[in-house]
């Protein structure tokens, strides 16, 4: 990252900026907030029901479905997804879906956790 002449005026907001850069490191230049919300909820509730995600995030069912697909194997319009999440039918109720992190998703979640926990080095 290039060195800037301007000093950091808010460490917390700079950390938020760095988190956005981690999200963009997935290869998505634009990482919508709904997509981030969906990923963070699943990562913090691995194995959750898709309907829980809808209820807890107040996102519409169609938005959740679209974002889960994008985080999964195939994004809409036939594009490759991010391969961070997988869906499985619930074993007790086959009408419901459970959401899990893939190994790549788990690795990405650990990268996010590491970024959040690491001390800021403002000398770079």
Q: What is the DSSP string of 33-80?
A: HHHHHHHHHHHHSTTEEHHHHHHHHT--HHHHHHHHHHHSSB-GGG-B
Q: State the pLDDT at residue 1.
A: 55
Kindly give the parts of the chain with pLDDT less than 70: 1-4, 123-124
Domains and CATH numbers, the chain: 11-117 (1.10.10.10)
88: burial class by Cβ within 10 Å (0-12, 13-18, 19+)? exposed
Q: State the pLDDT at residue 96.
A: 95
DSSP 30: S
Q: State the pLDDT at residue 114.
A: 92
Q: State the pLDDT at residue 84.
A: 97
Q: State the pLDDT at residue 72.
A: 96
> What's the number of CA atoms in the CB half-sphere (13 Å) around residue 34?
14
Q: Residue 108: which of 12, 28, 52 has the closest Cα?
A: 28
Q: State the pLDDT at residue 110.
A: 96
Q: State the pLDDT at residue 112.
A: 93
Q: State the pLDDT at residue 30.
A: 81
Q: State the pLDDT at residue 55.
A: 97
Q: State the pLDDT at residue 103.
A: 98
Q: State the pLDDT at residue 3.
A: 62
């Amino acid at each position: 990252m290039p060195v800037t002449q301007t000093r950091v005026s808010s460490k917390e907001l700079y950390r938020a900026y760095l988190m956005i850069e981690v999200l963009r490191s997935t290869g998505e230049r634009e990482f919508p907030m709904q997509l981030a919300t969906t990923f963070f909820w699943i990562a913090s509730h691995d194995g959750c029901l898709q309907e829980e995600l809808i209820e807890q995030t107040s996102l519409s069912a169609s938005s959740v479905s679209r974002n889960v697909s994008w985080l999964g194997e195939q994004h809409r319009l036939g594009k490759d997804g991010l391969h961070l999440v997988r869906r499985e039918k619930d074993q007790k109720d086959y009408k419901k879906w459970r959401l899990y992190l893939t190994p790549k998703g788990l690795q990405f979640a650990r990268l996010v956790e590491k970024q959040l926990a690491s001390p800021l080095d403002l000398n770079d």
